[in-house]
Amino acid sequence: MSHHLEGAASVHSGAAPSASSVAPEPAAAPRSPRRRRLLRSLPIYLLVLPAALFYGVFVLRPIALTAQFSLYDWNGIEPATWVGLANYVEVFTEPKLVGSILNAFELILYFSFVPVILALFAANVIRGIATSRLAGIARTVLFLPQVIPLVAAGIMWTWQFASNGMVNELLRAVGLGGLARAWLGDFDTALPAVGVIGAWVALGLCLILLLAGMSKIDQSLYEAARIDGAGPVREFFSITIPGVRQELAVCVIVTVIAALASFDIIYISTQGGPGNSTLVPGLQVFYLAFFDREIGTASALALTLMALVLLVVLPLQRLLRGRES
């Protein structure tokens, strides 16, 4: 999660400088106001140049190379052979690769919807008790998973989900021992179990974002609503949710990206097993590139994944933020 966050952040902060380092349209006439404006802002462009260079070398160039590799059959060492779009055909026809993409979409449910909804309610409750000490404790407890490295979180949850782990012990303690199972080893429960880990991690991030958003809402709005006779439910839907619309959008987008591009949690907890039931594109790209040494297919899947993320996130962004701009 934190990786994707950083990635998302660098895309936003990086895109602008790289673009602005390229000279804008040629000036129509010398000494035009536009030209003068450009000269005046030249130092600013020089300042962003180093960042733009890094962006070009470490973001744009790898993407371009990946696009190139995706058109070849290559094992990473020997000379490559040109295969055109064959790798992409494989991505969309090989059932295993298609299955991994479908798994990623199912993960959106756990990585995004669940934590966003839970965080909304938790934030609302914490806002309600904002003056008590409990609020601070609750915030810390819920945010803590964000601080724990994902690998550690993955290992910890693997233990909890084991046959004699905490989850099964709790079930047995309340007389539901019949439900106990190896959660990560069962075809039907492995993906939801992985989803729980993701939800647990994402909850803290969403909570902090939404709390920050809620603290911006003018208190007089609530007072006015109360005078008009609104109950807590009405307040929540008419004031709180519209008030945190921006933060909500960020939460949804960041967690959807985390779901579609997920890798670390799954790599630690199930490695895609059992029987590919938790295989996601991110993991499959890694396997294809570094174990099967099929750099071409891996690159094609990676680009497909990137396109998929954009395809899902761009409309979402428009939908969630659109009206404000």
- Binding residues (CB under 8 A) for other proteins: these are 15-16, 18-25, 56, 60-61, 63-65, 67-69, 72, 74-80, 82, 96, 161-163, 181-187, 269-276, 287, 290-293, 295
Give the number of other CB atoms < 10 A from CB of residue 265: 25
Q: Residue 146 or residue 189: which is nearer to other proteins going by CB?
A: 189
* 3 vs 20: CA distance, rounded Å: 26
Structure tokens at 314: 């761009």
The residues, any chain, with a CB within 8 Å of residue 84's CB and separated by 6 or more, are 71
- φ, ψ of residue 41 in degrees (nearest 5): -90, 5
- Nearest distance from C-beta of residue 97 to other proteins, angstroms: 11
- Nearest distance from C-beta of residue 201 to other proteins, angstroms: 20
Q: Residue 10 or residue 20: which is nearer to other proteins going by CB?
A: 20
Q: What is the DSSP string of 225-268?
A: HHHTT--HHHHIIIIIHHHTHHHHHHHHHHHHHHHHT--HHHHH
Q: Residue 144 or residue 155: which is nearer to other proteins going by CB?
A: 155
Please report, for residues 23, 64, 66, 199, the alpha-carbon distance to residue 61 in angstroms, rounded to integers and kept in the order given: 20, 5, 8, 33
The residues, any chain, with a CB within 8 Å of residue 39's CB and separated by 6 or more, are none
Q: Residue 203 or residue 289: which is nearer to other proteins going by CB?
A: 289
Q: Residue 146 or residue 299: which is nearer to other proteins going by CB?
A: 299
Q: Residue 85 or residue 129: which is nearer to other proteins going by CB?
A: 85
- Nearest distance from C-beta of residue 163 to other proteins, angstroms: 4
The residues, any chain, with a CB within 8 Å of residue 224's CB and separated by 6 or more, are none
Q: Residue 92 or residue 290: which is nearer to other proteins going by CB?
A: 290
- Nearest distance from C-beta of residue 116 to other proteins, angstroms: 29
* 83 vs 71: CA distance, rounded Å: 6
- Nearest distance from C-beta of residue 62 to other proteins, angstroms: 9
- Nearest distance from C-beta of residue 154 to other proteins, angstroms: 11
Structure tokens at 203: 């909850």
- Nearest distance from C-beta of residue 294 to other proteins, angstroms: 8
Q: What is the DSSP string of 259-300?
A: HHT--HHHHHHTTT-STTTT--HHHHHHHHHHTS--HHHHHH
* Local structure of 132: helix, strand or coil: coil
